[in-house]
Amino acid sequence: MAIALLIPTVARAEPGYSLTLASDDRFRGHSTSDGLPVATAAISYDDVSGVYGGLSVTLGPTRNDGLQPLRSVQHVGYAHRLRSGLALDAGVTNRFYSRYATVEYGGRFTQAYLGVVGRRFSTHIYYSPNYDGHARSATYVELDGLLFDRGAWSLASHVGALAPPQREGRPLKRVEIDGRLGLSRQIGKATVSATLVGGGPDEDGGRWRGTMVLAINRSF
């Protein structure tokens, strides 16, 4: 997601910092950490004008080379709030994966996105002109929802569909679906979560995959 589901009543103009420990790193249903745990440090900035941006770096253990950097994600965007309470959201993200990451497509790609964000839902469409590192494009559509929010507990969902890169002379690839259902509990400035992640079919055998990802996030 580009910005939070719950649009703040009063925008803030200050940096935010967070540290996340997770049992796996997943992107659109695929593990990018070979199923191993990761640590992610992130910094973000939300300006009162609607401009926002951020940077994150993820490290994790590898099978043979110890602790290594896995990925870095940078994003910048602009959110304009409408009288209806919804917000129009547009921006660009850049994802860079190291050689230690387990990625299905390109190790580095940029995406532009456009979406609508509400208090309990958001929907975005992403387009990358070079998703696989061979100048082949891909489009991704997602819908995120806050299903339950009471006290320190919340339940969030995500459904996404990827139209993957197509190779000339090859049969059209099937649309890849991914989904998440995550239960979270806030404890002070920390949030613990358990998220069921699934997706498919993949390129190898058309199999579907699923796992449970446990995480703890601390904001500063």
pLDDT in tens, 128-177: 999 998 899 999 999 999 999 999 999 999 999 999 998 776 667 789 99
CB-based contact 32:25 (threshold 8 Å): yes
Q: Is the pTM of this model over 0.85?
A: yes
pLDDT, position 8: 41
Non-local (6+) Cβ contacts of 85 within 8 A are 7, 118, 119
pLDDT of residue 19: 97
Looking at residue 6, its pLDDT comes to: 44
* pLDDT score of 201: 79
Structure tokens at 143: 């819908």
Ranges under pLDDT 50 in the chain: 1-11
Q: Which residue has the tokens 């819908």?
A: 143
The pair of structure tokens assigned to 77 is 């965007």
Q: What is the CA radius of gyration of the chain?
A: 17
DSSP state of 171: P
What pLDDT, on the 0 to 100 scale, is given for residue 1?
Answer: 43
Using one digit for the tens of pLDDT, what is the confidence trace for 44-57? 999 999 999 999 99
